[in-house]
Structure 1
Amino acid sequence: MTLERRWTELSSKADLDAEKGWALLAHHYGEAGRHWHTLSHIEDCLTVFDSIEIIPDNATNIEFALFFHDIIYDTHQSDNEERSAEVALSFLSCFDGKEEVADLILATKHTHTEPKNNDEKLIVDIDLSILGSSPDRYSEYSRAIRQEYQWVPESDYRKGRTRLLRLFLDRPKIYNTSFFQNWFESRARENITFEIETLQPAKP
């Protein structure tokens, strides 16, 4: 099933204008300057969602949140999740679960909030699943993130990225659910540790 078809079927559950919604998604996720936070990332997240052995409390809310969670992405700003939630609330104005969808989106502001319920834990883990991917795939991810921050001087990027990655390593567990801990935790720590090493200045 194509991503657009999936969106159309999801929209039918809430009696939404699927065509208008898809145009909105395609416009934002196709913006210049995006290298990781594209529709391919959304498709990857949904693929992980489909493969996990966890029954969510509300799968429809999670799917809507996954589609919208990075719809606003500006590397010069720090309120992307809040603005993405606002877009979702506006488009889903007639959907009963819109507030829950907004909360799920806000939960993906990974270093600022703690998941409050099972579905928030799940969407956070899905969004972070790339950290536990194969080394080659992780390298693609880290390069794409650097491209999105190409306006940041190299030395500043290295410091900022290292600081962010260490926040994940310093957690008792990167992932919230036992499923993701079992399948992704070890590899994620290896990948993050390796990237931190590559970000350090070369020794004279």
Structure 2
Amino acid sequence: MNALDSDIARTLRADCDACFGTTAVWPLVERAYGEPQRFYHTLAHLAELFAHLAPYRADPLWPAVELAVWAHDIVYATTLPAYADNEALSAQWLAQVTHEHCDAAWLHAHASHVSVARDLVLATKSHRLPDGFAVDPELQRAAQIFLDADLAILAAAPDRLREYDRAIAREWAQDPDAPSAAFRAGRKQALEHLRAQAPLFRSAEFAPLEQHAQRNLEMLIGFYA
């Protein structure tokens, strides 16, 4: 799902401009998510997330969730040890880009949203609620729907699931049909980490995806065994 329909691309651009209150951020987003090593973590991934999250645009913390979507994979290295810093650098990017490109009125209105969004981006490393979010219903819901949407690909139909898994292999410079032993071991470990977090989905809205996602996880783990 790398090729992006022109209408979807225009919508993403307009939404990005509206979210940040400036046209200066979209070129940075477009360039980052269009990097040549990306095959899954692309603008198409953002479009999928926004489609999953469309019903929640009226939620109180939607501005924070939206910021988190734009930023969460903005830095995506696929080599070690750089990969371990992706989330921290993506959160740092959000703070930097808003400081550099958003005006004072925007920064005043959205300071708390940027703070929450940075925590959400950092949470994609473990896909667990950030510290302190569980005691605030609005923060908890924002984290749940954002993290659940990010994992919704695991409940995809078979063809889309295979496309996703092959794209991940390609991001790591692997032949999807004959991945290296090192990649197979690492991918299996990552998938087993997700399985150990059951339930994967913490919001009531995404909970119906759980059973299908778990079956898909078992299938993928079996492939890399």
TM-score by length of 1: 0.86
Distance 1:71 1:13 in 2: 16
Unpaired segments of 5 or more residues in structure 2? 1-6, 100-106, 134-139
Is the 1:49–1:126 Cα contact (8 Å) retained in structure 2? Answer: yes
Spell out, residue by residue over 1:126-153, the C-alpha distance to the aligned partner (whole angstroms, 9 max, x if none): 1001001111111100000000112697
For residues 16-165 of structure 1, the aligned pairs below 5 Å read 16-18=21-23, 20-51=24-55, 56-76=59-79, 77=82, 78-93=84-99, 94=107, 95-96=110-111, 97-110=113-126, 113-115=128-130, 116=133, 117-150=140-173, 154-165=180-191
Distance 1:131 1:92 in 2: 32
Is the 1:70–1:81 Cα contact (8 Å) retained in structure 2? Answer: yes
Compared CA separation, residues 195 and 150, structure 1 to 2 (3 A): same
Compared CA separation, residues 24 and 10, structure 1 to 2 (3 A): closer
Unpaired segments of 5 or more residues in structure 1? none
Spell out, residue by residue over 1:22-72, the C-alpha distance to the aligned partner (whole angstroms, 9 max, x if none): 1000111111110000000000100110146x9633112111210111010
**1:179 aligns to 2:182 (yes or no):** no
Structure 1 residue matching 2:37: 3-state secondary structure: coil
1:171 Cα deviation (Å)?
A: 2.4
CA RMSD of aligned residues (A): 2.1
Misfit runs of 4+, over 4 Å:
none
**1:199 aligns to 2:199 (yes or no):** no
* More off after superposition, 130-139 vs 87-96: 87-96
Compared CA separation, residues 13 and 142, structure 1 to 2 (3 A): closer
Structure 1 residue matching 2:205: 3-state secondary structure: helix
Q: Percent identity?
A: 27
TM-score by length of 2: 0.79
1:172 Cα deviation (Å)?
A: 3.1
1:7 Cα deviation (Å)?
A: 4.1
Structure 2 residue matching 1:126: 3-state secondary structure: helix
| Corresponding pairs, count | 195
